Structure formats: C-alpha cells, structure tokens
Structure 1
Amino acid sequence: MKKLASYPYILWSIVFIVLPLLLILLYGVTIEDSSQIFGLKFSLDNFNRFLEPIYLKVLWRSILLAIISTIICFVIGYPFSYILSKAPIKKRNMYILLVIIPMWMNFLLRTYAWMTILGKKGIINNFLSSIGLPILNLLYNDGAVILGMVYNFLPFMILPIYTVLIKIDKNILEAAEDLGANKLKVFFKIIFPLSLPGVFSGITMVFMPAVSTFVISKLLGGGQYWLIGNLVEEQFLRINDWHFGSTIALVLMVIILFAMAILSKYEDKEEGGTGLW
C-alpha cells in the first residue's frame, strides 16, 4: 500500500524534475545539425564559448554578489535568530510572523517596492531633497542588487538558524554555567557549534537563489548589471539559443552542487566532531 501511494510522487518527480534535467543535459552537450538523425550533434563548442572573458566576467560577478549577499544575510540573520530564540513565546510568534509576512507577497512586488523606495523620485530621495540634501543614485548598481537579494533571501537564513537554536537543550547551557563558563564562552563553545547545521542550511538556501537570480538584477540593476541568471533567460527567451542556454544552466548547476558539497562536508565534520568543551 505504501509503495502504491508513492507512485504518484515518483511519476511527478520523473516528469517535472528528471526529464527537464535530461533535456537540459541533452541540449547542453549538443548543437543543431540537420545532417544528423535527430538534428542534433554532440559537441562541446558551447562550453568553449562560455569560457570567453565576457561570460566569465558575468559568472564571477554573480558568484561575488551571491557571496556578499550570503555573508550579509548571515551577519544580520544570526543575531536576529538568536534574539528570537530567547524571546518569550508570545513575542517570538509575532517576530516570526513579521519575518514570514513579506514572503506571502509576490516576489516581483517585493522587488518593485524597492524601486519606489530607491528611485530618483523615491521615498529616500524625496526626503533628502526636502531637507536640502542632494539626490543620490541608489538604483541600477551593485549595491541595489545586493540590497534586493538580502531583503528577499534573509528569511531563508533566519528560519533554519532559529529552528536549530530553539532545539538546543537548555540543560546543557545550565550545566556549562554551573561549571563556571560565562555567557560568552557558553555561546562560542556550545551554542554556536550546535547551531552550525542551521547556519550551513541557511547559507545554502540563500546562496542558491542569489547566484541564479535574474529578476532582482534586471529590476534593481536596470539591465546594466547582468548576472548568470539573466544570461540564461536571454538565451532561452530572446535569442532562442537553447543549446547555449542549457550549457550555462549546466555550469550553474555544477557550481551550486559544488558549493552544497563543500557545505555538506563541513556540516558532517561539525556534527561528528564538535565537542562541548
């Protein structure tokens, strides 16, 4: 009966996950050739094309902005998660609701909202001009893109860390304090090491969408700051070069899987070798 119940999920996974990935792989390692049976010919030309400086520059910018956004999310998210885990239950639920509510809104609407805030006639510049200060160029730069990433992906850092922090046994913390450890030592020796699985999960959940985003860079970057996600969108929707677009998508998938493998390796080490003292 359990096997029978799992068949719809297996079918769904095959149709919507496995087959699209196989198609991307097929298009990524082939080029159009009418002389072949299926009109496709195995070739690595698209990978060689991707190694051109212009595309590598886009890739490097995407990784750099994703790393910066992930670091900022961690710097903001960890203290907030820690404070959240120590708050009374009633306040804690309210704070969690405040974190989750923006995620109920459409992703595009959240990003468009920042355009009205950062624009030349936006809220910030209107305030600056009203007090006699010069108008700032807050949109269409790396800073605006990073701000959009941090705002949209910060909950993905907060929630995993918070989930781990509230599960830490308070008896361990009390035992450490009874043995003479001050609050700072308790945090760095016990709380932070035990919260690392949540940290690694948060980093993964922020880095993956940040490195592949295209909406944020298009709206807040004004199309002047292309990321790897914009490049994939351009190949599929405008240029109609599915082969090169699939190649870029494969490269992006390899980068994400590589980052996940590194984080998973460190997470396993921490879970297996972290001691309380």
Structure 2
Amino acid sequence: MTKRTRNWLLLAPAGTWFLVMLIIPLSVVLIFSFGERAPAGGVVPAFTFEQYANLPARWAAFKNTMTLAPIGTLSALLIAYPLAYFLAVKVDPKWRTILLVLVIVPFWTSILIRSYAWIFLLGGRGIPALLGWFGIEGVRLINTPFAVLIGIIYGYLPLMVFPIFVSLDKLDKRLLEASSDLGAKPWRTFLQITLPLSIPGIATGCMLVFILLMGEYLIPAMLGGGKVFFVGNALVDLFLQSRNWAYGSAVAVTLVFVMLITVTIYMRLINRLGANRDDVSIM
C-alpha cells in the first residue's frame, strides 16, 4: 500500500462524515432557495431569485442577530477573561479544579430550565419588584433586547472561559516573574506578555460563542417574548409554521454567507495580531 493510498484511507471516515453531514445538507438548502413555495407548503423546483429579493422582509431578524451576537460575544469576553485569569494565575492549584467545576455546573442543567429561571428573575415579580422596594418603579426587563443579552451571556459564558483559561494556564509563569524583576509594572506586564500570549484562547472562545449565537433560537424566543427575533426564530417560523421552505432556505443560505464573511475577516484579524505578537516576542 502506497503512502498516498494510506492517507486517503485515513481521511475517508472524516471526509465521508463531512460530506454527508455538511456538504449534502447545505447543497439541498441551496437548491431549495431557488425554488418556490408549494400551494400546500414545502417547495416546488424552480430557478428564481424571488426568495432572495424578499430578504428585506426579514431584516429585523438579521439586524437583531448581527447586533446582539457581537455584543453578547464581547460582553462574555469581558466577563470571562478576568475570571479565567483569576483561575489560571491567582488561584491555588488545589482549589482550581473545584472552581472550574463550579463554572460548568450550569451546563448540567437544561438551558430551557435556566431560561425559565431568568424569566422569573427579569419578570414583574423578580428584579423589577425588588427595585420597586427602593422606589424605582416602572422598570421593564423581560421581553427586551437586554433580557436576551443577559441570557446570552449567562448561557455561553463557560464556552468563553475555558479556552482562555487553557491559554493562560499554559503561560510560562517565569515570563511574568522576569517582567516584574526587570521593573515592569503589573499593567505593562499584562499588556505586553499575558494578553498577547492569550490571544489563541480569546480567538477560540469568541469563535465558539459567536458562531453558536448566530443560530440561537431558544434564548430570544423565551426571554425576548416574540419581540426580539433572531434569524434562528425566523427559520423556525418559515420552515415549521409558514412552511415556506424556499424562503426559509434563502434566509439560511444568507445567514451562512454572512457568517463566512464575518469569520474570515475575524480570522485574518487574529492572524495579524498573532504576527504582531511573534514580532514583539522576538524583540
């Protein structure tokens, strides 16, 4: 057996899985997007751009997704980084495992139950009622973009914490000690050593959270109360309720295209930051 044949055989299982689970479904959705809605629902084969011409009708869903997904990702990063830094650098190793388990404990409970908990906390008998005791009346939190943002941060925070923690945990602590011995202030050590060397973890965490948020359905449906729609909510409506598979496919294809562009720009930015980090480390 030649080396080339052996390589193809090793790649065959993953390649088959990739073809069956990704390429073929996306191809079907792409074909459907050029079709038309059947009278009883579904799709009729055709070749028309009518569905793509109707995309502005779902502009609100795209706007909410492209606004709250980046804000949610950035907010999760701002909260997760200090937590990951504390766990990786400041905590005694004998307590680290226990604290890491506490970070993932929410994942042991269904996101549905956790969202119901936030419905109560943000509803009229939760935080608004507490604020009313202090004379702050008329605060409405549930069924708002703020409620959706809170649910996003809470639901996806562990996915941001762990990649950053891994990067910081692998950080050579001798670099921090050397920086301190050379007279660098803590903030300068952080900006020139800790932060640049943790960029791979930041990139991975942001990528995980952002991609999942782009297709999020449950959190906007429950905490947005039908008033804050994501593209995921629009897809459920088009495929399961309106049964307009052609239009739903066009929306789905557009979402994938937007994600590809966004992720490509993001990865190029990360690669440029990585190159700058290497230049700094050489200097």
User: TM-score w.r.t. structure 1 length?
Assistant: 0.89
Secondary structure (helix, strand or coil) at the match of 2:36 reads: strand
**1:214–1:227 contact (8 Å) kept in structure 2:** yes
**1:165–1:195 contact (8 Å) kept in structure 2:** yes
Aligned match for 2:25, one of 20, 23, 37: 20
**2:143–2:225 contact (8 Å) kept in structure 1:** yes
Per the alignment, residue 188 of structure 1 pairs with 191
Within 5 Å, which residues of 2 pair with 1:37-52?
39-50=44-55, 52=56
Shift of 1:60: 1.4
Secondary structure (helix, strand or coil) at the match of 2:46 reads: strand
Per the alignment, residue 118 of structure 1 pairs with 122
How far, CA to CA, are the matches of 1:89 and 1:259 in structure 2?
A: 38
Shift of 1:263: 1.8
How far, CA to CA, are the matches of 1:167 and 1:210 in structure 2?
A: 28
Aligned match for 2:245, one of 232, 242, 245: 242
**1:120–1:135 contact (8 Å) kept in structure 2:** no
Per mean C-alpha deviation after superposition, the further-off stretch among 204-213 and 161-170 is 204-213
How many residues align? The count is 271
Secondary structure (helix, strand or coil) at the match of 1:31 reads: coil
Per the alignment, residue 97 of structure 2 pairs with 93
How far, CA to CA, are the matches of 1:136 and 1:25 in structure 2?
A: 44
Per the alignment, residue 79 of structure 1 pairs with 82
1:214-261 CA-to-partner distances (Å, cap 9, x unmatched) read 211111111011121111111111011111111111111112122211
1:77-114 CA-to-partner distances (Å, cap 9, x unmatched) read 11111111111112211121111111122121221221
How far, CA to CA, are the matches of 1:32 and 1:239 in structure 2?
A: 10
Shift of 1:270: 2.3
Per the alignment, residue 145 of structure 1 pairs with 148
How far, CA to CA, are the matches of 1:224 and 1:185 in structure 2?
A: 45
Matched, 1:173 2:152: no
Per the alignment, residue 271 of structure 1 pairs with 274
Within 5 Å, which residues of 2 pair with 1:189-268?
189-268=192-271
How far, CA to CA, are the matches of 1:271 and 1:136 in structure 2?
A: 44
Shift of 1:11: 3.2
Shift of 1:6: 5.4
Cα RMSD (Å): 2.4
User: TM-score w.r.t. structure 2 length?
Assistant: 0.87
How far, CA to CA, are the matches of 2:61 and 2:17 in structure 1?
A: 34
How far, CA to CA, are the matches of 1:8 and 1:68 in structure 2?
A: 38
How far, CA to CA, are the matches of 1:190 and 1:131 in structure 2?
A: 45
Letter in 1 for 2:273: E
For structure 2, list consecutive stretches of 5 or more residues without a partner in the other structure: 1-5
Aligned match for 1:55, one of 58, 61, 66: 58
How far, CA to CA, are the matches of 1:252 and 1:227 in structure 2?
A: 11
Shift of 1:7: 4.1
How far, CA to CA, are the matches of 2:94 and 2:272 in structure 1?
A: 36
How far, CA to CA, are the matches of 1:64 and 1:133 in structure 2?
A: 29
Q: Looking at both structures, which has the greater relative contact order when contacts are Cα pairs under 8 Å and sequence separation is at least 6?
A: 2
Overall identity of the aligned pairs, in %:
30
Shift of 1:121: 2.9
